[in-house]
Structure 1
Amino acid sequence: MNARAILAKLRQRQTPTRDELGWFARALADGQVSDAQAGAFAMAVCLNGLSDVGRVALTLAMRDSGRVLSWDLDGPVLDKHSTGGVGDCVSLLLAPALAACGAYVPMISGRGLGHTGGTLDKLEAIPGFGTQPDEQRFRQIVAQAGCAIVGATADIAPADKRLYAVRDVSATVESLDLITASILSKKLAAGVDGLVLDVKVGSGAFMKDLAAAQALAEALTKTANAAKCRTTAVISDMSQPLVPSLGNALEVAEVMRVLTGTGRGPIVDVAAALGGVLLANSGLVADVQDGADAIAKAIRNGAAAERFGRMISAMGGPVGFVDSWQRFLPEASIIREVKAPSGGYVRAIDGEALGLAVVQLGGGREVESDHVNPAVGLSEVVRLGAKIGKGQPLAVVHAARSDQADRAAAAVVAAITLGPSRPKLPDLIIERVG
């Protein structure tokens, strides 16, 4: 077993054996392979791919590179993961809603990747919120609040932690095999009974077309179910940002408006669709529609907000955050409207371009060591099908410096296509797989 031999196999379009992939995962975790070899591995898999058997073997090897949790609770242990999109803050809404419906949600999440925001970065916009509790504290929070959204500890899928960082800076984020192994190694290590995967498709997702999204959904569900975790994927539309804000504090604000009853929008429909699957698969409700109704009710009646507040305070955030969240979230020093250069209907939105504009504002990372500014981003982004007059706002830029605001404004104008007729709007929920 050595890295060179495994890399040579991958270069020659051969799938390494289960033992070889197991060795490489352990070597990623304990540092036996160099950063150069880790990057070469990611690029080789991205370019040449693995077989179905190889994908399962890599996923289980990465799971087993560290500790695998088990739970003894009086309800099902459930989780959700999104493949990544812009304005996608569903986890912040769904985790407490599931808890309010009788489930336990130990959600191990990640940071921003490519043009998409990270759930942990969003939560860290809340003052004092800590995403790395030790295992004992993690278990206490899950038991008491019903949910905890955390980063993977050093002993949870450590191979993935190393490879995840490499993928973000080596242009290998889009690999179906690496996405599958990364997502599922952490989720399976968390010891969950059931999992739902939100596979995004569209301009703001990694998967731009439906065939690619379907392939990823199939890979994820087959791999997870082969590992004895009951899993369903929901393919949902990402042809525009899910909420009209992109950026960490701005997206938390969108979630808080929904939780406190002053906002709604498609984020609730996606949360209900995902949560309905989980509640039905776990036996907490009779069918998916009953589950979706239960999730929507928990959001509407304040039960989800109460669970969210419990989680925030238990993880170091303000005790009264839910009641007065506006005074806790940071604000950018420069806030500027982006005016439409002409009029028309919004026919297309390049979500990836908007996400990259937020990264360049400082709301994400271009290299691993970059500091994330939680206050910057875009808000009030127009929706597909909206009729916009010349000079009316397309979005609002939140920036730290004027030059950054200028570049972001130009990116917004370039990313939004206006035309003379209203487009046909895509379905929000496209299909279920698995």
Structure 2
Amino acid sequence: MVDIIHAKRSGNELTDEQIQYFVDGVVSGDIPDYQTSALLMAIFFQGMTKKEQATLTMKMMASGDHLDLSSIPGIKVDKHSTGGVGDKTSIPLAAVVAALGIPVPMISGRGLGHTGGTLDKLEAIPGYKVEISEQDFIEQVKKDKLAIIGATGNIAPADKKIYALRDVTDTVDSIPLIAGSIMSKKIASGTDALVIDVKTGAGAFMKTLADSRALAKALVDIGKGVGMQCMALITDMNQPLGDAIGNSLEIEESISLLKGNGPADLEKLIVTIGGYMAVMGDKAKTTDEGQKLCEEVIHNGEALASFEAMVRDQGGNPEVVNDPKGILPQAKYQIDLPAKKAGVVSKIVADEVGVASMLLGGGRQKADDKLDYSVGIMLHKKIGDPVKVGEALLTIYSNRENVDDIKQLLYQNIAVSDSAKAPELIYETIE
């Protein structure tokens, strides 16, 4: 192991055998944490070649279970997001794509810090089970074309151990390590095609367009290298996506979108990604045709029916689609944040708005924190929107009456100026 650390520290390319030795030693526990951490830091500073990234990914993938989805007819298409504030995209998107007849077997994660996890949002629906057996998962995708669950079995155990060390050694934002972590789990999940939504900006993991582009290219290279259909979009996370931040609020917004009443930015992103997924799933010849199909199933109720079927079959209360406020947990207090001056909203710092929701109880500061599904923030203004003095910029949903600390944090991170224009939503695609 010392030789491997030395080789990478010196900027050399690791051999397949060296990477295999490392992954095996991590899983078995034969390599102590301090040596694993040393290699992670060497990778952080020296980077990895495309070949090294692909090998690391495949060795991590092979360290555990591999889902066999071959019994599900059709091209299985999945989507992954690098995460952000208000990013509930996967939930309505999966229902939209399933309504086109494309199987969407989605294995999602939980949130930590200011980014919300898809599983946490779905667990706001009373009874919804994110943990089901592999066989039930496969049978549900056959029946409904859709299931969203947490990782089953022992997927990529090497990644779990490496990720835990990256978190405490400040080596999280290494592109080769991020790419290996994401793709080892996605390849092990057994899908045929993958669209990756790489977020960029203040509320994202990758703050700059250059870093986001490098990560997107690394992810696509790995996917294509193992024979998967794979492409990425780089999308904005300088302000929250949609209007709702918080678990129940985001489920309610997802249902509104599936009824054709969702925020324009969220619908645009879903239709754009869905267009690519429709082509990958062989339901459309072009992305334009795919986007039109997505719009149709949103506005004719078929996507909502897909979502309702998934909720019912995973133990959730399907009445949530008809009466979300009656079924989902609701906060005791709704407190508006009035604008202190007139003008145009010029800044809404996404990660700090996420932190505000977390401090209300809607997110985790530590992995074992319990969530309050009912709390969060509902934006009434986005960047580029005009606002009058005293008009509500947003509403705070809280179970405590005094939210002065939250108001102060939000005022510090929302700016009103003489003029501003809305940011681009989709910067580029990597195919």
Superposition pairs of residues 69-108 of structure 1, within 5 angstroms? 69-70=67-68, 71-108=70-107
CA distance in 1, matches of 2:406, 2:9: 39
Partner of 1:63: 61
Relative to 1, partners in 2 of residues 1:21 and 1:76: Cα closer, same or farther, differing over 3 Å? same
Superposition pairs of residues 334-349 of structure 1, within 5 angstroms? 334-349=333-348
Of 375, 398, 410 in structure 1, the residue corresponding to residue 408 of structure 2 is 410
Relative to 1, partners in 2 of residues 1:195 and 1:30: Cα closer, same or farther, differing over 3 Å? same
CA distance in 1, matches of 2:86, 2:424: 17
Relative to 1, partners in 2 of residues 1:42 and 1:379: Cα closer, same or farther, differing over 3 Å? farther
Give the secondary-structure state (helix, strand or coil) at the position aligned to 1:321. Answer: helix
CA distance in 2, matches of 1:378, 1:36: 41
Q: Which piece of structure 1 moves more, 17-26 or 106-115?
A: 17-26
CA distance in 2, matches of 1:22, 1:114: 32
Deviations 1:383-414 (A, max 9, x none): 011112222222222233345x2222111111
2:159/2:181 contact within 8 Å kept: yes
CA distance in 2, matches of 1:77, 1:108: 12
Partner of 2:205: 206
CA distance in 2, matches of 1:356, 1:166: 24
Query: Pairwise CA RMSD of aligned residues?
Result: 2.2
CA distance in 2, matches of 1:270, 1:252: 17
Which residue identity is paired with 2:429? R
Of 422, 427, 430 in structure 2, the residue corresponding to residue 430 of structure 1 is 427
Q: Which piece of structure 1 moves more, 357-366 or 298-307?
A: 357-366
1:100/1:303 contact within 8 Å kept: yes
Relative to 1, partners in 2 of residues 1:279 and 1:326: Cα closer, same or farther, differing over 3 Å? same
Relative to 1, partners in 2 of residues 1:338 and 1:55: Cα closer, same or farther, differing over 3 Å? same
Deviations 1:162-189 (A, max 9, x none): 3445545654443222221121111111
Deviations 1:233-278 (A, max 9, x none): 1122222111111111111111011112333421111111111112
Give the secondary-structure state (helix, strand or coil) at the position aligned to 1:199. Answer: strand
Relative to 1, partners in 2 of residues 1:396 and 1:47: Cα closer, same or farther, differing over 3 Å? farther
1:169/1:367 contact within 8 Å kept: no
Partner of 1:24: 22
Structure 2, gaps ≥5 residues long: none
2:357/2:377 contact within 8 Å kept: yes
Deviations 1:276-311 (A, max 9, x none): 112213322111111111112111111111111111
1:98/1:275 contact within 8 Å kept: yes
1:126/1:328 contact within 8 Å kept: yes
CA distance in 2, matches of 1:333, 1:273: 37
Deviation at 1:160, TM superposition (A): 2.5
Q: Which piece of structure 1 moves more, 411-420 or 150-159?
A: 150-159
Q: Which piece of structure 1 moves more, 327-336 or 20-29?
A: 20-29
CA distance in 2, matches of 1:371, 1:332: 16
CA distance in 1, matches of 2:80, 2:305: 22
CA distance in 2, matches of 1:248, 1:39: 34
Give the secondary-structure state (helix, strand or coil) at the position aligned to 2:78. Answer: strand
- What is the identity percentage for the equivalent residue pairs of Structure 1 and Structure 2? 38
Give the secondary-structure state (helix, strand or coil) at the position aligned to 1:149. Answer: strand
CA distance in 1, matches of 2:16, 2:112: 28
Superposition pairs of residues 23-422 of structure 1, within 5 angstroms? 23-33=21-31, 42-70=40-68, 71-167=70-166, 171-402=170-401, 405-421=403-419
1:15/1:54 contact within 8 Å kept: yes
Relative to 1, partners in 2 of residues 1:128 and 1:160: Cα closer, same or farther, differing over 3 Å? farther
1:78/1:192 contact within 8 Å kept: yes
Deviation at 1:9, TM superposition (A): 4.8
CA distance in 2, matches of 1:400, 1:8: 54
CA distance in 2, matches of 1:165, 1:124: 24
**What is the aligned residue count?**
430
Relative to 1, partners in 2 of residues 1:299 and 1:280: Cα closer, same or farther, differing over 3 Å? same
Relative to 1, partners in 2 of residues 1:397 and 1:233: Cα closer, same or farther, differing over 3 Å? same
Which residue identity is paired with 1:211? A
Which residue identity is paired with 2:17? D
1:27/1:33 contact within 8 Å kept: yes
Deviation at 1:222, TM superposition (A): 0.7
Which residue identity is paired with 2:158? A
1:141/1:148 contact within 8 Å kept: yes
CA distance in 1, matches of 2:34, 2:404: 37
Relative to 1, partners in 2 of residues 1:178 and 1:401: Cα closer, same or farther, differing over 3 Å? farther
Deviations 1:178-212 (A, max 9, x none): 22112111111111111111111222222222222
Deviation at 1:146, TM superposition (A): 0.7
CA distance in 1, matches of 2:39, 2:248: 35
Give the secondary-structure state (helix, strand or coil) at the position aligned to 2:202. Answer: coil
Deviation at 1:51, TM superposition (A): 2.4
2:54/2:222 contact within 8 Å kept: yes
